[in-house]
Amino acid sequence: LPLLLLLAPWGPCVSGGLRSPRRRWPVPYRRFDYRPKTDPYCQARYTFCPTGSAIPVMKEEDVIEVYRLQAPVWEFKYGDLLGHLKIMHDAVGFRSSLTGKNYTMEWYELFQLGNCTFPHLRPDVDAPFWCNQGAACFYEGIDDAHWKANGTLVLVTTISGTMFNEMAQWVKYDNETGIYYETWTVQASPDKKSTVWFDSYECSKFILRTYQKLADLGAVFKKIQTNYTSIILFSGEPVYLGNETSIFGPQGNKTLAAAIRDFYSPFKSHQSVREFFVNLLKIIDSVILNHQFYLFYNLEYWFLPMKSPYLKIIYEEVPLPVGSKASYGV
């Protein structure tokens, strides 16, 4: 079951019946029938899943330990620096009792976080150009030093080989249909009961889905505290603007198109120090003083009327799941 079946030569096609009705909150994350071929323009500084392999088929009688893995984002480069801000990356580990082999499974961006969060503005293309895909990666081994040094490596449950194999089939489905990375959670206020307009779709959400699938298959999780990072934007009720064609196409809204390009312009990569500070002032002016943010979600653009505190990074507890009889996704 290879997980690097990522570059099918088709564009994404929305699965029938999954188009979300307007003003249903949160807007459901849209799944697709195919993963689009990546454009050569999109280049990653670090190769996606360089040692990735197929998920093995486990023997039914195997007993497999499941580990929660968490470490600061870019820990391999900056150590625990981002850990102080509670910006964490999540993964899941497995250990086969029959073979003694360890495995790691995680979900992350193909072209790094910046490209998934903000587009490129190309002079020859009117519409913002997005280098955005996320996918699962499975490989043999668990880098104990990476996860233990500044993070977490803890046993959360044990499962049978049969349950592992069923989970693997679900991972294939999840990986082939959930193809776009969504950085932001958008909600009405910091209150825990406030309306969520959009939910993020990133590494921690993949781990939570995996845990839930295992619980649905019968896994019983230990009672330990588990926290996850979310980056939240605070906004009044979002306004739907349209898709790339309706905004940037021949019959599009040129005023709106210009406004969206102007908004994204300060977020460009590879800036000089002077450009960074100039653009930071533009971002503050747009988001905080003028209460404006343009969100690209499910291949559609939305206007967010921003409000205080505008942005917050939280490290919030999400309990390990309790199983149900219903199977998720397969």
Residues taking part in catalysis? 89, 203
d(CA 91, CA 203): 7
Helix, strand, coil shares of the chain as percentages rounded to 5?
Answer: 25, 30, 45
Residue 49 buriedness (CB in 10 A; 0-12 / 13-18 / 19+): middle
Closest CA to 185 of 21, 29, 20: 29
Task: Report the alpha-carbon distance of residue 330 to residue 314 in Å, rounded.
Answer: 32
Which position has the token pair 């209460």?
291
Residue found under tokens 């021949």? 250
First to last CA, the chain: 15
At 260 the three-state DSSP class reads helix
Half-sphere exposure of 146 (CA within 13 A, CB side): 16
For residue 65, the surrounding DSSP H or E stretch is strand 63-72
How far is C-alpha 21 from the chain's CA centre? 23
Sheet holding 134-140, edge to edge: 134-140, 102-109, 88-96, 63-72, 152-160
Phi, psi of 152 (to 5 degrees): -140, 135
According to DSSP, residue 299 is labeled T
